[in-house]
Amino acid sequence: MKKCTVVYNPESGRDVDKKGISDLPNILNDNGYECIMCPTKCAKDAIRIVRELPDDIDLVICAGGDGTLNEGIAGNLDRKKKLLISQLPVGTVNDVGSMYGYTKKMSDNIKMLLNGIEKNVDICLINNTPFVYVACIGSYVDVSYNTPRDLKRKYGRVGYLFNALHEFTSESVKQFNLAYEVNGIKKSGTYSFIFVTNTSRMGGFDHLYSDVKLDDNMFEVVLCSAKNKVDILRIGSKVLVSEIKNMPGVEYYQTDNFKVKFEDVPPSWVIDGEEYKHDQKEFDFSINKDMHMLVPTKNIDELFSNVDSLNKEE
């Protein structure tokens, strides 16, 4: 019998989203896996759990939000022998899970996972710290981690919106003087937002880009020069009907390396919905190719360049 470890965050998501977690050992056992359940007890605990797992584990399931998956992957990258990682979305927003085609029904999601295929997935790094789908900096982006937990539990993703509206009406737009280098291009200027992503979905918005692949050794960089809230609202309204890379006030690149230097130490970045604290002015973004994930086949054609290894059907 194969061995599976489920790393899950008991605090992630609403109570309605967590129904079914207790059924996982029986479901996995019926599918040929001996299951060990490992709840996290504090922030970054999933990193430790995955880092310390024995080498004979056949599958690690990160059951939680995008932050739980981030920690599982960070722990895996610390290992000499990498394990096969997968996600079972149980969080509030679940951008990564939605991108892969997961639903809101736990029983369907576990079936999709176990009938998925193994893929090599690009993992982005900011100063050698991994992130799965987004690293961003700017005004209001911190709502992903500073929204009160009781608000998220009660209202789900609407809770983030309440908090974002509060920040938007009470805070001015941050401006950063910086210089960057990407694809041989060097520029400097004043910017309000930077997004470094490897995803087609972010903040609940689908299809931000039409050509994202998770295995092409590339990530996407967006720098925004919005000067005020009117500019932000104008760009935000256009995101609903057009790709962000085609908008005025936005600079867009696809690359495998991006370097940015701020004039002053900037505030925390947000990586995969969690706070990335630092005391630095310079940040180097790159890609790690050591990660293999078990992913559903539902959106495989649009998310991966190489689908020749597709050998299972949902």
Cα separation of the two ends of the chain = 22
pLDDT value at residue 23: 86
Angstrom distance (rounded) from CA 29 to CA 47? 25
Instruction: Assign a CATH topology to domain 2-114.
Output: Rossmann fold (3.40.50)
In the chain, what are the domain boundaries?
Answer: 2-114, 129-288
DSSP state of 119: E
Q: Which of 215, 235, 238 is nearest to 226 (CA)?
A: 235
d(CA 198, CA 117): 19
pLDDT tier at 304, thresholds 50, 70, 90:
very high
| Most trustworthy range by pLDDT among 10-24, 108-122, 163-177 | 108-122
Burial class (CB in 10 A: 0-12, 13-18, 19+), 186: exposed
Q: What CA dihedral angle connects 71, 77, 83 and 87, to 10 degrees?
A: 30
Mean pLDDT of 272-298: 95
Q: Classify 294 as helix, strand or coil.
A: strand
Q: What share of the chain has pLDDT > 70, as a percent? A: 80
Q: Left if phi > 0, otherwise alpha if psi is -120 to 50, otherwise beta: which for 13?
A: left
Nearest of 113, 99, 117 to residue 309 by alpha carbon:
117
Q: Give the pLDDT confidence of 30-55 residue by residue, as tens digits.
A: 999 999 999 999 989 999 999 999 99
Q: What is the pLDDT of residue 122?
A: 96
What class is the 129-288 domain? mainly beta
Could you tell me which of 51, 71, 57 has the C-alpha nearest to residue 5?
57
Helix count and strand count (H, E) for the chain:
10, 16
Look at the chain and count its residues.
Answer: 314
**pTM of this structure:** 0.86
Residue-wise pLDDT for 158-206, tens only, equals 555 545 555 556 567 889 999 999 999 999 999 999 999 998 877 666 6
CA 69 centroid distance within chain: 8
Q: 58-72, 87-101, 138-152, 238-252: which has the highest mean pLDDT?
A: 58-72
Residue partners of 58: CB distance under 8 A and separation at least 6:
2, 3, 4, 33, 84
